[in-house]
């Protein structure tokens, strides 16, 4: 993906309040993006989209371990993902 397209998409996600941008303390040229509470609330929807894609699109690169975990322990996976994000 071209860097200008990625920048545009990240900017839109930030404007919508789904992600927050911070400057990397170690390298001031880098930015660190994290999910906001609003973004975390979308995790169940994103997980369902991943499962749908894995089922209906054979050419995705979704890790099999993620698909299996999402099918077998959806609630546990969502809890783990939520716990990784600090507000």
Task: Provide the residue-wise pLDDT of the chain in tens; the chain has 87 residues.
Answer: 888 899 999 999 999 999 999 999 999 999 999 999 999 999 999 999 999 999 999 888 999 999 999 999 999 999 999 998 866
Q: Which pLDDT value is given to residue 1?
A: 81
Q: What is the pTM of this model?
A: 0.77
The angle at the Cα of 14, spanning 12 to 17, to the nearest 5 degrees, equals 115
Q: Which pLDDT value is given to residue 48?
A: 96
Q: Which pLDDT value is given to residue 46?
A: 95
Q: Could you tell me if residue 17 is left (phi over 0), alpha (psi between -120 and 50 degrees) or otherwise beta? A: left
Q: Which pLDDT value is given to residue 87?
A: 61
For residues 56 and 40, is the Cβ–Cβ distance under 8 A?
A: no
């Amino acid at each position: 993906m071209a860097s200008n397209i990625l920048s545009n998409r990240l900017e839109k996600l930030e404007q919508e309040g789904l992600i927050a941008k911070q400057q990397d303390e170690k390298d001031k040229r880098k930015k660190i993006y994290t999910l906001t509470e609003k973004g975390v609330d979308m995790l169940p929807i994103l997980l369902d989209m991943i499962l749908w894609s894995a089922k209906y699109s054979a050419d995705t690169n979704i890790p099999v371990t993620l698909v299996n975990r999402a099918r077998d322990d959806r609630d546990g996976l969502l809890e783990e993902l939520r716990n990784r994000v600090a507000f």
